[in-house]
Amino acid sequence: MQNVPRHELFAILSQMNPWWQGQLLRGLPTWTRAAFPELLRWLVDPPAPRAVLVTGARQVGKTTLLRQAARSLLARGIEPRQILYVTFDHPLMKISGVEGVMRVWNELNAPDPEREQHLLLDEIQYVSDWGTWLKHQVDFEKHRRIAATGSAIPIRREGQESGVGRWHTIKLPTLSFYEYLQIRNTAMPEVPRVASLTQPFAWPDAERRRVALSAEALVPHFHEYLLRGGFPQTASVDDVDTAQRLLREDIVDKVLKRDMTALFGVRRITELERLFIYLCLHDGGMLDVQALASNVGVNSRTIANYLDLFEDSNLIYRLRPFGYGKQILKGRQKVYLADAAIAGSVLMRGRALLEDATRLGHAVETAFFKHVFAHYYSVSIGFSYWIGDRGTEIDVIAEIAGRVVPFEVKYRGTIDSRDLRALAEFCAARDVNRAYIIGADPRDLSVRPLGPAPEAPQALVIPAPLACYWLSRMELERTE
């Protein structure tokens, strides 16, 4: 089975690489993800001799990203035969392996070995010992520039063993709110762009009111975004029930049941599915592993292993308590799903989410964290949550270039003094002068003092749709 006929393999490769026959790439969107300029930079003028590894959940747009890279390389004058795209999700490519594919490409397409070759390798997790192969290529094949994608690969383990200094990782999250608006062809409101969330602190009250009023039109689109999710396929579907069914099938049938078995050797899929449903019911919550193990019916070590697999498959984010030391490392983890629509889709809630204030608040918190993570992860040394001595809590703490930035999500009612207590306590204890509250009132873009003194720290209240819109717009502009 390993010896696939060369002509058959080349015929499939030719379909995957239509530019070899002078054909145009068709069906690609004209707009690109925020991650695209970074990927292209590593392929055209890499800052260091490394490969690029794009990691993200299934159906998040990694294949489109690679094909758009091929289109851009061709537009820059790269000779077609020097560009190879292959997806190892294809059964014959999986059987042939990367060396078999490379051999056929070299023998039947004859790329020039003296010139740069661009390898675009999709779903590399299906390649045996892909980390070792990629390491060898980077070390000894200097004429090759490689970009690979993976939806379910143990990045942390591979990186520890062989990836240090050999590849640069780009994390591709689900669609941001701004990207969702683009894919839906939504008319953008007249909202001023900001280079940083600190800008509105300096605006006059009247300007903040004017901006909030103009951004109010984002609210219904934001709610639809929470229902459909940030996966390009489901974001494009008009019917919410259909979008959620498709997303549920991708998560449950393809990731939990197929990938976990094929890639990680998981056999007790029922336990895995029960744990994931628990996470959907407690999205954004703190996990008591012992209680969770009892609930699911497995031991705590198995729970920890399953959580690692979910993270490796880009299904969850995990936060530890803010601080340092062994006590913090042993503290409860806070878990967010990779996209706000996953919980509602897996649990088949439909539009009922919008009528449940608690569940809606959890979905908003999940969506906002994803936007904060996507915008700051490349410059942040970590994300955490905080619990004060009196039980007060702050949802997200981002540590950015030596600064500590607290974010609290309050997607209900109006913001009052009780909502400011945790931020005031944290800012006073950590000598932080600015904080953020992500609120529900679409017209409340305001600055609130966190103490009676004139020099007291301040909190900027931002409506959640506007906060996600600004963060995702900034991320796109930063990479352009």
CB half-sphere exposure, 431, CA atoms < 13 A: 2
Average pLDDT estimate for 330-341:
91
* The domain over range 6-172 is classified in CATH as 1.10.510.10: no
Other CB atoms within 10 A of residue 288 CB: 13
Summarize pLDDT for 72-88 with one digit per residue, the tens. Answer: 999 999 999 999 999 99
Amino acid letter for position 8: E
Distance separating alpha carbons of residues 333 and 279, to the nearest angstrom: 12
pLDDT over threshold 70, residue 213:
yes
The average pLDDT across 438-462 equals 95
Alpha helices of 109-239 — where are they, by DSSP H?
A: 130-140, 155-158, 177-183, 205-215, 218-228, 232-235
For residue 461, the cross-strand partners are 437, 446
Residue 91, pLDDT score = 93
The structure's pTM equals 0.92
What are φ and ψ of residue 152, in 5° steps?
A: -145, 75
pLDDT at residue 154, as a whole number: 59
Phi-psi sector, 463: left (phi>0), alpha (psi -120 to 50), beta: beta
Radius of gyration of the chain (CA): 23
Return all residues near 76 (Cβ < 8 A) that are at least 6 apart. Answer: 44
Tokens (6 digits) for 421: 């207590």
Q: Among positive and negative, which fits the CA dihedral 181, 170, 127, 106?
A: positive
Annotated domain spans of the chain: 6-172, 178-479
pLDDT single digits (tens) 36-73: 999 999 999 999 999 999 999 989 999 999 999 999 99
Tokens matching residue 349: 């809630």
Total Cβ atoms within 10 A of residue 364: 26
